[in-house]
């Protein structure tokens, strides 16, 4: 009589148990590997954007683009941001009525959906630092980060030449260039890519305080850390608290608390 070689129920359950155990052991390792790959891809994106910044400044007397160009009509939906100035240097060109979908402007871990009221636009994961606060040793309230807000005085102006009435920052004037953040991760549903003809811009989000990251929906973007692009092109993974002086660490979690320090502001004495 031929004996059957079929699995018994007990044997089948044992095999299933072993497979389940192996999957449980491998999943955390696979998750960590995926996170490491996304973190590296994000840093690569930021370095690519950094090269675009350097190419832009080389053609504009070492002057950085503004973080935000305000539309002279006052319509917030027609503001444009720094990514428009960099699009030609990233190899993209927006088609009529639709912003270019620049892949390098999004972190792979950024899975927040774009806003429903701007379906033709694409999101970005990065923002320049505006940093509102008092200039050190003065009573002058101003923008102290490398990402300035510049109002345009001519309707439809799309060239990014400096306006003498506003502070346009030249990289050559930043003394601590390797210690000053140029671009940081800011994952928000309204952080949108913009269109150069200004007919399809959108809300543009600059970074004013570490609180914007500490309490944002993406604080766990890279296991509690963010990638930061510095003025010398270096990308470093840090927590928001690591980007300010020790005396300001406690106020990182306080909304609107001004947190000066070597990494957020460009004043030599700050």
pLDDT tens across 230-261, in order? 999 999 999 988 998 888 888 888 877 777 67
Separation of alpha carbons 125 and 39, rounded Å: 13
Separation of alpha carbons 59 and 80, rounded Å: 20
Please report the pLDDT score of residue 156 as a whole number. Answer: 43
Separation of alpha carbons 152 and 161, rounded Å: 10
Residue 19 parent element (H or E): helix 9-59
Instruction: Measure the CA angle with vertex 7, ends 6 and 12; round to 5°.
Output: 160
In a domain, 263, yes or no: no
In a domain, 93, yes or no: yes
Cβ neighbours for 77, distance < 8 A, ≥ 6 positions apart: 201, 202, 203
Sheet arrangement for strand 68-70: 80-81, 68-70, 149-151
Could you tell me the pTM of the whole model?
0.80
Max Cα-Cα span within the chain: 100
Confidence of residue 160 (pLDDT cuts 50, 70, 90): very low
Inter-residue contact 229 to 181 (CB < 8 Å): yes
Report, as an integer, the average pLDDT of 114-118. Answer: 69
In a domain, 90, yes or no: yes
Q: What is the DSSP string of 120-182?
A: T--B-SEE-B--EEEPTTS--EEE-SS--EEE--STT----PPPTTS---BGGG-TTGGGSEE
Q: What is the DSSP string of 26-70?
A: HHHHHHHHHHHHHHHHHHHHHHHHHHHHHHHHHHTTTBPPPSEEE
In a domain, 258, yes or no: no
Range with the poorest average pLDDT among 76-80, 99-103, 121-125? 76-80
Separation of alpha carbons 189 and 125, rounded Å: 9
In a domain, 122, yes or no: yes
Q: Note the residue count of the chain.
A: 270
Report, as an integer, the average pLDDT of 117-127. Answer: 77
Copy the structure tokens of residue 148. 């300035």
Please report the pLDDT score of residue 164 as a whole number. Answer: 39
In a domain, 4, yes or no: no
Residue 37's CB is within 10 A of a number of other CB atoms, namely: 11
Buried b (16+ CB within 10 A) or exposed e, 47-58: bbbbebbeebbe
Range with the poorest average pLDDT among 18-22, 59-63, 194-198? 194-198
Report, as an integer, the average pLDDT of 85-89. Answer: 87
Separation of alpha carbons 231 and 266, rounded Å: 10
Average pLDDT, the chain: 77
Domain count across the chain: 1
In a domain, 199, yes or no: yes
- In the predicted structure, residue 80 carries a pLDDT above the cut 70: yes
Each residue of 6-60: pLDDT tens digit? 667 777 777 777 777 776 776 665 556 677 888 899 999 999 999 999 999 998 8
Residue 89 φ/ψ, nearest 5 degrees: -85, -10
The range of the structural domain enclosing residue 70 comes to 9-253
In a domain, 40, yes or no: yes
Inter-residue contact 83 to 68 (CB < 8 Å): no
Strand partners for 95? 98
Copy the structure tokens of residue 95. 């088609």
Question: What does the CA dihedral 261, 262, 265, 268 come to, rounded to 10 degrees?
Answer: 110
Strand partners for 81? 68
């Amino acid at each position: 009589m031929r004996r059957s070689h079929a699995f018994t129920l007990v044997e089948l359950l044992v095999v299933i148990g072993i497979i389940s155990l192996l999957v449980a052991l491998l999943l955390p390792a696979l998750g960590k590997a995926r996170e490491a790959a996304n973190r590296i891809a994000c840093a690569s994106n930021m370095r690519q954007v950094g090269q675009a910044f350097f190419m832009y400044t080389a053609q504009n007397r070492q002057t950085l683009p503004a973080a935000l160009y305000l539309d002279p009509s006052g319509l917030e939906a027609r503001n444009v941001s720094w990514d428009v100035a960099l699009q030609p240097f990233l190899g993209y060109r927006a088609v009529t009525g639709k912003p270019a979908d620049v892949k390098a402007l999004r972190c792979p871990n950024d899975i927040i959906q774009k806003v429903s009221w701007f379906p033709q636009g694409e999101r970005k994961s990065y923002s320049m630092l505006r940093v509102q606060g008092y200039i050190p040793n003065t009573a002058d309230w101003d923008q102290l980060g490398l990402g300035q807000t510049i109002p345009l005085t001519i309707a439809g102006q799309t060239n990014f030449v400096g306006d003498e009435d506003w502070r346009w920052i030249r990289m050559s004037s930043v003394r601590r260039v390797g210690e000053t953040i140029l671009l940081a991760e800011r994952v928000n549903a309204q952080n949108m890519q913009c269109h150069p003809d200004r007919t399809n811009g959108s809300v543009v989000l600059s970074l004013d305080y570490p609180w914007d990251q500490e309490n944002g929906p993406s604080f766990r973007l890279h296991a509690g850390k963010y990638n930061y692009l510095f003025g010398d092109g270096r990308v470093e993974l840090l927590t928001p608290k690591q980007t300010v002086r020790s005396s300001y660490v406690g106020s990182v979690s306080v909304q609107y608390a001004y947190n000066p320090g070597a990494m957020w502001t460009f004043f030599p004495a700050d």
